[in-house]
Amino acid sequence: MEMKYNKVTDEVLKDLRGIVGEENVLTDKETIKLYSSDEAPIGLEATAEVVVKPKCTDEVSDILSLANEKMIPVTPRGQGTGLCNGAVPVYGGILLSLERMNRILEIDEDNLMAVVEAGVVLSDLRLEVERRGLFYPADPGERTSFIGGNIGTNAGGMNGVKYGKTRDYVLGLEAVLPNGKVLNLGGKVVKRSMGYDLMHLIIGSEGTLAVVTKAILKLIRLPKIFITLYVPFSNMYDAAKSVSEILREKVTPTAIELVEREVILEAENRLGKRMPHHDADAYLIIRIDGDKEEELYGDAEAVSEICLSNNAVDVLVADTKERQSVIWDIRSVFYEAIVKSREADIVDAAIPPSKMPLYIERIKKISDEYGVKILSYGHAGDGNIHVHPIKDGLSDEEWNEKLPKVMMKLYSEAKNLGGVVSGEHGIGWTKKKYLPICLDKEEIRIMKEIKKIFDPNNILNPGKIFDA
């Protein structure tokens, strides 16, 4: 597929400086390189021609109008914590960093809503609302991510079991089209039935339809108490089976994470902290929240009993803030611990939660069949698991030959169980080839036609999700 884009000329640079000011147009090669990658385990060689940092919606609008007119690709970027090369400027052009649009504009305590710019850091928003006794529950592992990026991939994370994903908390969006026009979608309303929902179309569109500049987010009240159970098992299957049974019970934990021993050990080393137990082959990490202590402990007991009846080795309860922090801090580096210390790829399948034990068995079978080591962990409670094929012990040649087959097999087995190719990371550049496993031709055709409506010149994050 051939793209006919123009280069960022000196004249374009001058125009960009006119829009955002001299200091917000970066052309230094090293800087550009830093902005041209994300956290994908297998990166891409690509660099933008310029990094531009707008401060407000009008500036975003002017940049897009200019790029659209000059046929220059624009890649919007949040914190660059995505895992699919979704923010990598594969056709060069302008890298549009939203980092300066980082204001929390309003926390509306009457309506339990927040209005934020796209460049607000997730952890900043969480802290700010928690100070007021409120809670923004969408919680992808990476809390340094930007809200705009969370919206771009419909980010999920730990709390999906009880609280859902980013989409469930977006009530309104301001988004700029490639033609520079600004859409105001949704609003501070709970219900809305007014034609086709363009807001939901833009959520999860990975910056390919419009650049999200502001969001109205739903908040809930902060639960008063959290406790964490840390449950060792002698194998992944028993742990996964416990999850299915917990979900059938009259208890809904905030989070149920499943992980195998080796990942725990790597993460402990990476962070220099220790889990309360690390000698069993598999673990569940279960968080329960609520407002009443006795109820919480009642739920914890019910969950413990299920785990023990499924051969849990023990059930450790962390109820102080400090003990819980250690566990969740270690949890938060699982991904880094795996990919920074070795070559690995990642599968982000989501399957019907009840099928998790079956999927765990199939992963084991695929590992044995291809002779490729596989490490897994993830959000077992909502059926979203991260599966890492690992290069350990393989030559470059073997790895390059086996990896694509193993990846395809892992996705296909997820599909066979009624699952999908991406639970929460999005498609980006990396997973385009797996999309046809789950979407039929007609669906992809419609998506491509929709892309043309929003972005007829294909300047906005081109090459992502599919080849337009």
Q: How far apart are CA 259 and CA 282, in angstroms?
A: 6
SS3 38: coil
Residue nearer to a copy of itself on the CB measure, 247 or 313: 247
Q: How far apart are CA 232 and CA 106, in angstroms?
A: 43
Residue nearer to a copy of itself on the CB measure, 318 or 468: 468
- Residue 461 binds to a copy of itself (criterion: CB under 8 A): no
List the one residue from 2, 22, 194, 395 that touches a copy of itself (CB under 8 A). Answer: 194
Residue nearer to a copy of itself on the CB measure, 342 or 432: 432
User: Between residue 326 and residue 365, which ones bind a copy of itself under the rule CB under 8 A?
Assistant: 350-354
User: Between residue 199 and residue 218, which ones bind a copy of itself under the rule CB under 8 A?
Assistant: 200-201, 203-205, 209
Q: Quick one: which segment of 12-20, 25-33, 196-204, 276-284 binds a copy of itself (CB under 8 A)?
A: 196-204
List the one residue from 184, 269, 320, 400 that touches a copy of itself (CB under 8 A). Answer: 184
List the one residue from 28, 106, 109, 401 that touches a copy of itself (CB under 8 A). Answer: 109
Q: How many residues does the chain have?
A: 468
H or E element, residue 122: helix 122-130
- Residue 151 binds to a copy of itself (criterion: CB under 8 A): no
Lookup result for tokens 């055709």: 445
List the one residue from 61, 81, 154, 430 that touches a copy of itself (CB under 8 A). Answer: 154
**How far apart are CB 352 and a copy of itself at their closest, in Å?**
4
List the one residue from 2, 22, 110, 396 that touches a copy of itself (CB under 8 A). Answer: 110
User: Between residue 9 and residue 68, which ones bind a copy of itself under the rule CB under 8 A?
Assistant: none
Per the CB < 8 A criterion, the answer to whether 60 and 176 are in contact is yes
User: Between residue 279 and residue 308, which ones bind a copy of itself under the rule CB under 8 A?
Assistant: 291-292, 295
User: Between residue 399 and residue 428, which ones bind a copy of itself under the rule CB under 8 A?
Assistant: 418-427
Residue nearer to a copy of itself on the CB measure, 119 or 157: 157
Lookup result for tokens 């892309």: 451
Q: Quick one: which segment of 21-29, 90-98, 229-237, 435-443 binds a copy of itself (CB under 8 A)?
A: 435-443
**How far apart are CB 460 and a copy of itself at their closest, in Å?**
13
Beta strands (DSSP E) in 27-70 are 50-52
Residue nearer to a copy of itself on the CB measure, 34 or 190: 190
Residue nearer to a copy of itself on the CB measure, 83 or 259: 83
Convert residues 222-261 into a mask of x (bound to a copy of itself by CB under 8 A) and - (unbound).
----------------------x--xx-x-x---------
**How far apart are CB 364 and a copy of itself at their closest, in Å?**
22
Q: Between the CA of residue 292 and those of 137, 240, 295, what are the distances in Å?
A: 19, 28, 5
Pairing of strands 182-186, 211-218: unpaired
Report the Cα 54 to chain-centroid distance in Å.
24
Output b/e per residue, 334-347; b: 16+ Cβ within 10 A.
bbbbbbeeeebbbb
Q: Which two tokens stand for residue 285?
A: 């990490």
Q: How far apart are CA 341 and CA 339, in angstroms?
A: 6
Binding-site residue total for a copy of itself (CB under 8 A)?
82
- Alpha-carbon radius of gyration of the chain: 22
**How far apart are CB 186 and a copy of itself at their closest, in Å?**
8
Residue nearer to a copy of itself on the CB measure, 193 or 395: 193
Per the CB < 8 A criterion, the answer to whether 468 and 451 are in contact is yes
Q: Residues 58, 60, 62, 64: is their CA dihedral positive or negative? A: negative
**How far apart are CB 266 and a copy of itself at their closest, in Å?**
25
Q: Which two tokens stand for residue 137?
A: 């529950």
List the one residue from 24, 97, 153, 159 that touches a copy of itself (CB under 8 A). Answer: 153
Q: Which two tokens stand for residue 419?
A: 């699952």
- Name the DSSP class of 353: G
Q: How far apart are CA 260 and CA 54, in angstroms?
A: 43
User: Between residue 363 and residue 402, which ones bind a copy of itself under the rule CB under 8 A?
Assistant: 379, 382-384
Residue nearer to a copy of itself on the CB measure, 69 or 281: 69
Q: Residues 113, 116, 119, 124: is their CA dihedral positive or negative? A: negative
- Residue 189 binds to a copy of itself (criterion: CB under 8 A): yes
Q: Residues 228, 339, 263, 330: is their CA dihedral positive or negative? A: negative
Nearest to 260 by CA among 344, 341, 368, 373: 373
- Name the DSSP class of 23: G
**How far apart are CB 116 and a copy of itself at their closest, in Å?**
17
**How far apart are CB 45 and a copy of itself at their closest, in Å?**
25
List the one residue from 435, 459, 460, 468 that touches a copy of itself (CB under 8 A). Answer: 435
Neighbours of 115 (CB within 10 A): 18
